[in-house]
Amino acid sequence: MTEAAFSIADIPIYGRILLAPMDGISDAPFRCITRRLGSAYTVSEFINTHDFSKLRHYQIARLAFQETERPFGFQLLDNDAGRMAEVGARLYELFKPDFFDINMGCCAPRVTSRGAGACMMRNLDLIRDSFRRLGQAVPVPLTGKMRLGWDETDLNYRAVAEAVVAEGARLVALHGRTNKMKYGGKARWEPIRELKQALPVPVIGNGDVNNLADARRLFEETGCDGIMIGRAAMANPWIFAGLDRDEVPIAEVFALARYQVRAMHAFYPGEKGLVAFRKFIKAYLAPCGLPYEKIVQLMKVTELEGLLEMLADIEAELGGQGQSRFGWEGLANPFEKEQKA
């Protein structure tokens, strides 16, 4: 049997590269796809536990996951430790995830303005409380995902990481930017190395890994246990299978696209799946040099069959040939029987 690369408490992880959680991107269909391609484990989009506790029907789509995604964790986001623990306990009862992750990195002003996400990093007591209470409420391990700090004058990643580990976190992921940087500037990787050397738990490095050479460099420069890839994975999910985008055959791109659009169409109600798929297909086809009008046309299709026909035409024009080595063509759509949210 292959040896685990690292583990989250007693959960062995067989791989070192995984999809970063991304609101509006890392939904269940995309997570299943990236997991099949080799992403080591999965984390949900953030679950706002304030909203969950107030709404009778939280969007089911945000909570749904497939067994094939395991090890799977819900990522929770809130500025209230008690509420986070209560909702965590309920989510555990309902869905039995393998672990929970606490979001200490979201930089959206509507989130930070109420003290949640990256703003938690300014409140160590809240962080300690959240890990302690959630840890008491659920029987599975906790992990945390954070940034460098609030801004350049407040780079407290080390203190935050040590605090969460002291409260029982079994893995820490660090995005090498401050809250103030949002997604701009350049991610700094030295702090990832510092945490790797300082912490007794696995450290995941994150930020600006755009290709396999970057991934290798991040491992070499920091010694981190694993890396999370966000934006680049949206354009090249094949990176989890060890392929840079320019190594992916045309037929492979279209086989995945066809599988994904069917999955998304079945997963979301009405036209929502097709609309949500547009950002993926735009990113997948970006390197193909299609005329602008063609992309515009593609973005306007509102029916699955029409979209599949158009994809077939474009593939033929681009000279796609052969079958996918990942077997998308023969794979059952796991979302066909899902209740639509």
Residues serving a catalytic function are: 106
Which of 13, 239 has the CB closer to ligand FMN? Answer: 239
Min CB(256)–ligand FMN separation in Å: 20
- Judged by CB under 6 A, the number of residues near ligand FMN is 23
Coil, strand or helix: which one is 138? Answer: coil
Using CB under 6 A, pick the residue from 31, 35, 83, 175 that binds ligand FMN.
175
Question: What mask, x for binding ligand FMN by CB under 6 A, covers residues 220 to 249?
Answer: ---------xxxx-----------------
Using CB under 6 A, pick the residue from 11, 20, 84, 274 that binds ligand FMN.
20
Sign of CA dihedral 253, 339, 65, 231: positive
Which of 91, 314 has the CB closer to ligand FMN? Answer: 91
> Strand ranges (DSSP E) for the chain?
6-8, 11-13, 17-19, 42-48, 72-77, 99-104, 142-146, 172-175, 203-206, 226-229
Min CB(286)–ligand FMN separation in Å: 16
Min CB(141)–ligand FMN separation in Å: 17
**Single-letter residue type at 72:** F
Min CB(169)–ligand FMN separation in Å: 14
* Cβ-based neighbour number of residue 93 at 10 Å: 9
- State yes or no: residue 129 binds ligand FMN (CB under 6 A): no
Is 237 within 8 Å of 37 (Cβ atoms)? yes
Min CB(241)–ligand FMN separation in Å: 17
Which of 103, 236 has the CB closer to ligand FMN? Answer: 103
Which of 117, 258 has the CB closer to ligand FMN? Answer: 117
Q: How far apart are CA 41 and CA 31, in angstroms?
A: 9
Residue 292 contacts by C-beta under 8 Å, 6 or more apart in sequence?
A: none
Question: What mask, x for binding ligand FMN by CB under 6 A, covers residues 257 to 286?
Answer: ------------------------------
Question: What mask, x for binding ligand FMN by CB under 6 A, covers residues 132 to 151?
Answer: -------------x------
Radius of gyration of the chain from Cα atoms?
20
Q: How far apart are CA 4 and CA 10, in angstroms?
A: 11
By beta carbon distance, the residue nearest ligand FMN is: 230
Short-list 33, 26, 37, CA closest to 103: 26
Query: How far is CA 180 from each of CA 125, 176, 183, 233, 331, rounded to the nearest angstrom?
Result: 21, 12, 9, 23, 43
Which of 141, 314 has the CB closer to ligand FMN? Answer: 141
Q: 272-285 vs 250-267: helix axis angle to the nearest 10? A: 160
Positions that interact with ligand FMN (CB under 6 A): 20-25, 45-46, 75, 103, 105-106, 145, 175, 183, 206-209, 229-232
